[in-house]
Structure 1
Amino acid sequence: MTLANKTYRLLPEWSPQDGLQLTWPRPDGDWAQLLSRIEATLERIVIATTRYQRVLISVPDDTTQRRLAETFEAYGIAQQQLMLIVAPTDDTWARDHGPITVVDEAQQPLMLDYTFTGWGGKFPAEHDNRLTQWLDDAGAWTCPIAPRSMVLEGGAIETDGEGTLLTTEACLLNPNRNPSLSRTDVEAQLAEDFGVDRVLWLANGHLEGDDTDSHVDTLARFCNPSTIAYVRCDDSTDPHYPALNAMEQELMAFRQRNGEPYQLIALPWPQACLDPEDGHRLPATYANFLIINNAVLVPTYGDPADLVALQALSIAFPEHTLIPIECNSVIRQHGSLHCLTMQLPKGTLAPALSQS
C-alpha cells in the first residue's frame, strides 16, 4: 500500500484511543536483573490503563501469556480489556517499534510501519522491527498497515494534529538513521506521510543516559495545539543547564500558525538519578508522560519534584485524571513511561482474541 492516492494526517496523542500497546520483557533479555521490578511497573500501567481502554501486550512465550492472564484476572481486570499475543521481540520500547497511526480524509486509520534499527544500530532490533507485521498476522489490527523504508521512531516526533510537527535535529538528522536524506528530504517525507506542512526543529536539548539521540518525547511535548510542556533545568551548575536553557529559548521563539507564541509549561528538574551499579546519570524526565482516554500517566521518581510535575501537568490537562507511575526501574534501561507505550487510536485494535 502506498500513500500517493490519499491525503493522510498524523493523529495527536490526545485523539480517542482503542487501546495501548506494551511489549513485555523477555526473561533472558536486558531486563533480566530487574525483571520483577519492571514487571511490577508494567502491571501498574496495565491496571491504570484498563480503567479507560484496552491493552495489547506482546509476550515472549506461552508461559508468560498464561501467567499474565492469571495475574490480571486476579487484579480484577476483565478479559476483554486485554489482548495477549506471543511474539518474538528484542526489547520493551513499544513507542519506538510500534506503529504510527495516520487517518485519511474520511478518518479511516492506517498504521505506518517504519524501519526500526535499535536507535541507529546501537542495539539488536531485528525482532522488534518485524513486530507490527507479526501482530498483524496474529489478527491484532483491524486497519491496514503500510511498511515504510525510512528509519523513524515514535518517540522522535510530536504533533499538534493540525499540520505541525515538533522534533529534534540530533535525532532525525543524525547520520545513523537516514544518512542519505538531507533536512529537506526528511521534511518532504514527513509531509508526505503525516500531512504536515510545518516542522519545528529543536537544535538543543539532551539528557545524559539517553540512547535515542534526543528523542523529543524526553524533552518537549504537545499537550494541545497551543500548549507545549517541556523540561526546564533551573540548576546552573548542572551539566544539562546550557543545552536545556538554549532549548527553552528556542521554544519561546516558536510561533503557532496564527503567529501567537505557544503557552509553555515548564516541568521541574528532578535531582540527579544515578545508576546504583556504576553511578552513571539516568534520564529521569517528566516530559515522558502518556496521554490516554481521559487520563494522563505521569512518570515519577520518588523526588520532591514529582508533586510539582503533577501540578504543572494538571494545568495542561484540566479535564484528565493524572495518574503517577513510579519509573525508577524504567530509567535503569535509559527510557521512561512514554517510551514503554504506544497508543492505538480508534479503529486500529481488533476485537479481543480468545486467550488459550
Structure 2
Amino acid sequence: MTPKQQGFFFPAEWHTHRATWLSFPQSSDSWDYGERLERIYPSYMAFVKAISESEKVCINAKDETHQALILTLIEKYGIDKNQVEVPIHPNNDSWCRDHGPAFLINPETKQRMIVEWGYNAWGGKYPPYDDDDQIPVRIAKYLNLPYVVPGIIMEGGSVEFNGKGTVLTSKSCLLNPNRNPHLSQAQIEEFLCNYYGVEQVLWVTEGIVGDDTDGHIDDTTRFVNEDTVLTVVENDENDENFLPLKQNLEDLKAMRLLNGKPLNIIELPMPDAVYDSGVRLPASYANFLITNGSIIVPIYGCEKDKIALEIIQDCFPKHKIVGIDATEIIWGLGSFHCLSQQEPIV
C-alpha cells in the first residue's frame, strides 16, 4: 500500500514541528572557498538561534571534527545547547530541504513515516551526492521511523503544500529531463499524490533567474494558509524576472482548489537584484522558513526588505517575523528555506 492508502500525508509547514533539520555547510560546490564559508557563519548561526527559540534544531554533521566545530559555534553564538541535536550523518552539501527526509503524518494512528525520494543534486550538477542521497534513511534510523522508497528523483524545494490535499510545483523543475526523463507529467503527478498523500497537483511554469535548481517553487510561491499564497512579482519590465513571474501570476490566477475556489493571491516584491562577480543570484523573499514561533525571512539590505517583512507579518499575525541578512548565504544559490526541512509532530 502507498502512504496515501495508509492515511499518511505531508502536512503544511505551519503544522507544529518537533524540530527543524539542517545539514551544516561545508567546503563543497556551494561553499568552495574557506573564506566564503566562514563569512556565512554569523547569518547561519543567527538562523539556528532563531529556530531554536521555538523548537529543536537537528544539525547533520559529516564527521566528528565537523560535529565539534558545530558545537563550538553553538556556544560562541549563545545558542541554548539543550535545543540542538548534532548527530553524525555524512553529507555532501548544505541543502537539507532537497536531500533531507520528507516527513509524513497519520493523525488517525498517530504515526509518522519518512519518504526517501532519490536525490541527484538537481540533475547531476554537483557530484558527489551519494551521502546526501542517504540522509533520509540515516534520519529514519536515528528517529526509529519507517521509511518508503518511491524510486524517483524529488526535491523538497520543488513542492509546496497547503495541508488540505493540494501541492504546488513548477514545470521548469519537475518536468525537466534531468530529473525523471522516463516519466510523463501524469505519472509524476501520480507519484506526488501517492507518496505525499495529496489529491491535487497545481503547476506554475517557471522559476527565478539564477536558480540552479531549474525553478524551485520555494523561491516563487508559498502557501500561507490552506487557500492563500504569497507569490513574488517583479515590476521592472527590464528585469529578467519580469516575464517569468508574470506568467506564474497568470498561472496562479487560473487555478482552482479542490473545493472549486480560486486561490487568494498576495503579491510579494522581489528584492533588488543581487550579483556576485557579475553573476545574478537567486535572491527572493519567498524563501522564508515557518517555525513554531517565527517566520525567518532572508533580507538583502535594500529598501524592499521592510515592505516584504510587513507583507509577511500580515500573513502570519501570530508569528514573530525575523529578518536575517542573507547576502552571504545566497552566494551558495539558496537561502533559509533551502537549508532546512521541518519535522512535524503528529
Does the pair score TM above 0.5? Answer: yes
C-alpha distance after superposition, 1:97-126 (max 9, x if no partner): 001111224242111111000001111111
SS at match of 1:44: helix
Question: Does the 8 Å contact 2:116/2:136 carry over to 1?
Answer: yes
Query: When the two structures are superposed, what TM-score results if normalisation uses the length of structure 1?
Result: 0.91
How far the C-alpha of 1:163 sits from its partner, in A, is: 0.6
* Matches of 1:135 and 1:192, distance apart in 2: 22
Structure 2: gaps of 5 or more residues: none
Question: Does the 8 Å contact 1:17/1:293 carry over to 2?
Answer: yes
Q: Which amino acid aligns with 2:339?
A: L
Question: Does the 8 Å contact 1:208/1:281 carry over to 2?
Answer: yes
Name 2:120's counterpart in structure 1.
Answer: 117
C-alpha distance after superposition, 1:193-212 (max 9, x if no partner): 12212111112x32121111
SS at match of 1:131: helix
Name 1:127's counterpart in structure 2.
Answer: 131
* Matches of 2:264 and 2:309, distance apart in 1: 17
Name 1:16's counterpart in structure 2.
Answer: 16
Structure 1: gaps of 5 or more residues: 348-356
- 2:61 paired with 1:59: yes
Q: Which amino acid aligns with 1:174?
A: N
Question: Does the 8 Å contact 1:233/1:240 carry over to 2?
Answer: yes
Question: Does the 8 Å contact 1:15/1:345 carry over to 2?
Answer: yes
SS at match of 2:301: coil
Name 2:26's counterpart in structure 1.
Answer: 26
SS at match of 1:196: coil
SS at match of 2:48: helix
Question: Does the 8 Å contact 2:221/2:229 carry over to 1?
Answer: yes
How far the C-alpha of 1:333 sits from its partner, in A, is: 1.5
Query: In the superposition, relative to structure 1, how do residues 233 and 107 fare at CA in structure 2: closer, same or farther (>3 Å)?
Result: farther
Question: Does the 8 Å contact 1:31/1:38 carry over to 2?
Answer: no
C-alpha distance after superposition, 1:261-293 (max 9, x if no partner): 222111112111111x2x011111011010010
Name 1:316's counterpart in structure 2.
Answer: 315
Question: Does the 8 Å contact 1:85/1:135 carry over to 2?
Answer: no
Structure 2 counterparts to residues 237-316 of structure 1, below 5 A: 237-275=238-276, 277=277, 279-316=278-315
Name 2:188's counterpart in structure 1.
Answer: 186
- Identical counterparts, % of pairs: 36
C-alpha distance after superposition, 1:113-167 (max 9, x if no partner): 1100000111111110012223344x2x142222231100000001111111111
* Matches of 2:77 and 2:26, distance apart in 1: 22
How far the C-alpha of 1:171 sits from its partner, in A, is: 1.0
Q: Which amino acid aligns with 2:230?
A: A
Q: Which amino acid aligns with 1:119?
A: W
Q: Which amino acid aligns with 2:246?
A: N
Range 77-86 or range 232-241, more displaced: 77-86
* Matches of 1:214 and 1:52, distance apart in 2: 30
* Matches of 1:176 and 1:213, distance apart in 2: 10
Range 300-309 or range 81-90, more displaced: 81-90
C-alpha distance after superposition, 1:5-56 (max 9, x if no partner): 6122221111110111111122466414211122222211111111101011
Query: In the superposition, relative to structure 1, how do residues 39 and 283 fare at CA in structure 2: closer, same or farther (>3 Å)?
Result: same
Q: Which amino acid aligns with 2:14?
A: W
Name 1:222's counterpart in structure 2.
Answer: 223
Q: Which amino acid aligns with 1:235?
A: D
Name 1:340's counterpart in structure 2.
Answer: 339
Question: Does the 8 Å contact 1:25/1:60 carry over to 2?
Answer: no
Name 2:324's counterpart in structure 1.
Answer: 325
How far the C-alpha of 1:2 sits from its partner, in A, is: 5.6
How far the C-alpha of 1:4 sits from its partner, in A, is: 7.5
Range 103-112 or range 3-12, more displaced: 3-12
Over the residues paired in the alignment, what is the CA RMSD in angstroms?
1.7
Q: Which amino acid aligns with 2:295?
A: V
* Matches of 1:297 and 1:7, distance apart in 2: 31
Query: In the superposition, relative to structure 1, how do residues 272 and 201 fare at CA in structure 2: closer, same or farther (>3 Å)?
Result: same
